[in-house]
Structures are given as C-alpha cells and as structure tokens.
Homo-oligomer: A and B are copies of this chain.
Amino acid sequence: MSAPGDFAVEAVDGAARAGRLVTAHGVVETPVFMPVGTLGTVKGVDPAELRAVGTQILLGNTYHLHLRPGEDLVAELGGLHRFMGWDGPILTDSGGFQVFSLAHTRTVDDDGATFRSVYDGDLVRLRPEDAMRIQADLGSDIAMCFDEVPAADAPLAEVARAVERTTRWAERCRASPAAPGQLRFGIVQGGTDAALRERSARDLMGIGFDGYAIGGLAVGEERDETFRVTAETASLLPVDRPRYFMGIGDPEGILRVIAAGVDMFDCVLPTRLGRTGAALTAHGRLNLRNRAYARDPLPLDPDCPCPTCARFSRAYIRHLVAQRELLGMRLLSVHNIAFLLALAAQAREAIVEGRFDDFQRAALERLAGDD
C-alpha cells in the first residue's frame, strides 16, 4: 500500500471507521481533522507548530488562492507546499462553496459560475475545468470537484437542478488533467432530501473518484438533519474509499460525523475561535475574555499536552486576550487545533479497540459542561 489514492479501512466499529489514506506527500490516518489554511496560511499558526501538534493534512482554498496571490504565482514559487512551507498532504477545495456563500453577485449557468471577487470586486469566471487547472497548478494532493451548493432553504427543484449540474460538472472535472499523484474527490449534493442524495451519490460513483465528499450540509439546516443525512449518504458510498464531510469542526459535530461513517473533516473553527479569545476543552468552551480566568493558574485544558497548555496559564492567556496581543490569538489557535486533532486521534483509537460508542457517549457528556 504505497500509491497515492490507496485507502485501507483498518477497523470498523458500528458505522465508524479507522483508515489509512496514501497521498503523494504522505499517509493520513483517519478519522482526521484538517486545519484550514485559507490563503496559504493557517491563520496565525506556523507550519512547525502545526507539525508539532500532530497535523496530518491541511486544507487550502482554491477560491481565495486563485484571487490572492494567484495560482500562477504559487506555481512559479514551486507550488503550494513549498510556498507555504508545509511538506505534508494538502487538500484543496474547488471554490464551489465560496462562490455560493461569499459571492456578492453571481450568475450560474450550465458551463460555470461568474461572480465578483471579495477582494476587489473584479468579475471572475470559474468553470469546472478552471477549478481543476487551478488546483493542479497549486499542486495539492487532493483536488475537489467544482460543485453547485444550494442554500439550506432552497426549493426542492433548485436542489435537484444543483445535483444534476454537480454531476455534469463532476464529469468535466474527472476529464481535466491532474497534477502528478493528485487525487480527485467528488462531492455529493442533494440537500436534506434522501432521494436526491442517493441520486447524487450514484451519479458520482458511476464516474468514479478517489474519494467522496458530503457537501451542502451544516449550512443552516437543523443539526439532527445534518447527521441523519450524513449517515444515510455515507452508507451509500463505497466502503473502500475515503469519505469527507466538508465544513464541520465543533467537537460534538466531529464525533457525530465520525459515528456516521465519515473519515475526514475540516473547519476554520479552531483558528476563528482562537482569534476571538475562545478555547475548546474536553469540558466545553472557555471564553478567555471572561474576568473569571484573570487569576486562574490552570492551563486551558488540564488534560491537553499541547505547547500552549504545557507552558501557559489561563491567567496569562486571558491577559493577552484582554490586551489584544497577537500571541494570545496564536496560543489559542494552536491549542484549539491540537484539541481537535487529539479528539480525532482518540476516536480512532476507540474505533480500533471497538469501544467507539462508549468513547463518544463519555466525550459528549463531558463536552456538555459548557461554561
């Protein structure tokens, strides 16, 4: 097992799986949380810190990197890995989600999408072939298909049209050239409708991809719906291919999608929370702006071995946050990433040992102790 794309499921416990995915830049043990490096940097965190806390794979955003600094510049500087100083695996999204969530104005036709850049308002055209070429130029290890993401409250006919278009676009993405060793994942759409999800999954499996993502969820629908649709969709996907839930990063959500049979997941949550002064812990979130922590000598999470918790008190970090010191955002971001990586690693261990249910139940109970 050594060629990019090789994926072995090493253990199954209920629907939860422990696997190993080979990429051109190394092996990823799943379930795995992927920190997001939107613009070629996980906000405020150094690649050496990411490595130190056990990061296996990063996510980069095609939409943002296309606009700033541009894939041609990144390619000229040796590709995204070299540009950002990260020699491990990188997954790039396709820009689909950003086009549909960030674009101020957009028009979509069967050939692609046209939207205005969030950076300068310039009109930008993105077709499936463009999304794949950009990702090939960036040189990521896993490229995502360009998809149409309907809103959570979109009428069923609109969701059906998005499924149809996502399938046509996936065919064009599959036919586009990839970087050497670059894997391609299809993205299942279909909102919360079981029939549409099934159709989308079967369409994509018919085309054939190295892995399959569950997209268009966690966009505003009820949370129980998210996990129901995730479990249903995951059960339709090939057992021998990795499954990726796009955009979930809260500890409860991570546990629930792992339970539903998901192998990979990403979110900006740990760094976004870090920049706003919040810490994830086994006992819920801490808001470090709270005066209650002003003299608290404990680390953010007493059970966490990360470089932040090994060295600094809540009192110190609360002081940094109160004074808007850059180091505070950074120490919190590093801890939050370390916490989610550790949660996924603990889930993996529990799956391998056949005690995932117990692990999940105990973890969810502890997490419910939010302050």
A residues apposed to B, CB below 8 Å = 39-41, 43-48, 68-69, 73, 76-78, 83-85, 294-295, 297, 307, 311-313, 315-316, 319-320, 322-323, 325-327, 329-331
Contact = CB atoms under 8 A, between A and B. Distances in A.
Nearest to A44: B326
Contacts of A329: 326
A101 B275 CA distance: 31
A330 B69 contact: no
A44 B327 CA distance: 5
A319 B297 CA distance: 38
Contact of A323 (B68, B83, B327): B68
Nearest to A327: B41
Given A327-B44, A330-B44, A315 B39 contact: no
A73 B295 contact: yes
25 contacts: A40-B316, A40-B319, A40-B320, A41-B320, A41-B325, A43-B325, A44-B325, A44-B326, A47-B311, A48-B307, A68-B323, A69-B294, A69-B315, A69-B322, A73-B294, A73-B295, A73-B315, A73-B319, A77-B297, A78-B297, A83-B313, A83-B315, A85-B312, A85-B316, A326-B326
A41 B83 CA distance: 29
A39 B326 contact: no
A47 B331 CA distance: 11
A172 to B, nearest CB: 30
A58 to B, nearest CB: 13
Nearest to A328: B41
Contacts of A47: 311
A44 B76 CA distance: 30
Contacts of A40: 316, 319-320
A43 B76 CA distance: 33
A254 B294 CA distance: 38
Number of copies: 2
Contacts of A330: 44, 46, 326, 330
A241 to B, nearest CB: 34
B77 A313 contact: yes
Given A39-B325, A326-B329, A326-B330, 12 more contacts: A39-B320, A39-B323, A40-B320, A44-B325, A44-B330, A46-B327, A68-B319, A73-B315, A73-B319, A77-B295, A83-B313, A83-B315
Nearest to A271: B326
Contacts of A41: 320, 325, 327
A69 B316 CA distance: 9
A44 to B, nearest CB: 4
A32 to B, nearest CB: 23
A46 B69 CA distance: 27
A166 to B, nearest CB: 30
A35 to B, nearest CB: 13
Contacts of A69: 294, 315, 319, 322
Given A77-B295, A295-B77, A316-B83, A68 B327 contact: no
A280 to B, nearest CB: 19
A214 B58 CA distance: 50
- Chain B CB within 10 A, most for which of A43, A73, A329: A73
B73 A39 contact: no
A41 B295 CA distance: 17
A247 B32 CA distance: 48
A171 to B, nearest CB: 34
A48 B78 CA distance: 29
